[in-house]
Amino acid sequence: MLIILDRDGVINEYDGNYICSADEWIPIPGSIEAIARLSNAGHCIAIATNQSGIARGYYDIDELDAMHHKLEQLVEAQGGCIEFIAYCPHHPDEHCNCRKPRTGLLDQIRDHFHLDSLQGAMMVGDSRKDLEAGYTTGCRPVLVRTGNGLDTERHLDARPIPDAEVAIYDNLSKFTDALLSAEGW
Ligand SMILES: [Mg+2]
Ligand SMILES: [Zn+2]
């Protein structure tokens, strides 16, 4: 199965401040192992991440590449693999079509894997915009309670995503436990 992950607040610690360097990029405990477990079980892992810090001038593409190199090395050290990383470098004011909740990043992922659609894939995020981008493109939306997740969950009750059943887990590790033990996912 194709599993698309948001980055900040799902894979790495995120408190609302921009992550501006590889040194500041700190994995959430268990998240690297979770990605490797999913990968080693035969799932395909991609990432879709908004990185407006580039447009804001907080860091550049080289630094973003360094963060992603760190992430990929950590996963590979556990025998896993991240197949593709799609990022949006734009400022919200640019109204690009890739910044989530718009679907451009997920469309890039669909095209990268030569898929007709993302039906049957999963989108795991900590923010409403992840769930919306996933739902709009036919992914099953999954919320984790790390990063913005608790806040997102609270507001989800008041403003549910229409027709979408959002699965909710404490963190990426718990999601992975459930996915790998469940049948029929
Ligand atoms: Mg996030
Ligand atoms: Zn964009």
| pLDDT tens-place string over residues 156-177 | 988 888 878 899 999 999 999 9
Known catalytic residue at 6: yes
Whole-number pLDDT of residue 183? 56
As a residue count, the chain comes to: 185
CATH 3.40.50.620 describes domain 2-181? no
Helix 104-112, helix 128-136: angle, nearest 10 = 50
What distance in angstroms lies between residue 87's CA and the mean position of ligand 2's atoms? 7
Q: Is 139 annotated as a binding residue?
A: no
Whole-number pLDDT of residue 62? 98
Helix 31-40, helix 172-181: angle, nearest 10 = 20
The domain ranges of the chain are: 2-181
The amino acid that residue 112 corresponds to is H
What average pLDDT score do residues 1-29 get?
A: 97
Q: Is 65 annotated as a binding residue?
A: no
| Backbone dihedral angles phi then psi of residue 109, each to the nearest 5 degrees | -65, -45
| pLDDT tens-place string over residues 26-48 | 999 999 999 999 999 999 999 99
Q: Which ligand is nearest to the CA of 11?
A: 1
Residue list, CB under 5 A from ion ligand 1: 6, 8-9, 126-127
Whole-number pLDDT of residue 73? 98
- The Cα–Cα gap between 36 and 21 comes to 23
Cα 116 → chain centroid: 21
What distance in angstroms lies between residue 130's CA and the mean position of ligand 1's atoms? 7
What distance in angstroms lies between residue 13's CA and the mean position of ligand 1's atoms? 9
- The Cα–Cα gap between 35 and 19 comes to 20
- The Cα–Cα gap between 97 and 73 comes to 30
What distance in angstroms lies between residue 181's CA and the mean position of ligand 1's atoms? 25
Q: Closest Cα to residue 14, out of 66, 63, 67?
A: 67
Q: Is 6 annotated as a binding residue?
A: yes
| pLDDT tens-place string over residues 62-120 | 999 999 999 999 999 999 999 999 999 999 999 999 999 999 999 999 999 999 999 99
What distance in angstroms lies between residue 18's CA and the mean position of ligand 2's atoms? 17
Whole-number pLDDT of residue 185? 53
Q: Which ligand is nearest to the CA of 8?
A: 1
Cα 94 → chain centroid: 22
Choose, from 6, 151, 170, 177, the residue flagged as catalytic. Answer: 6
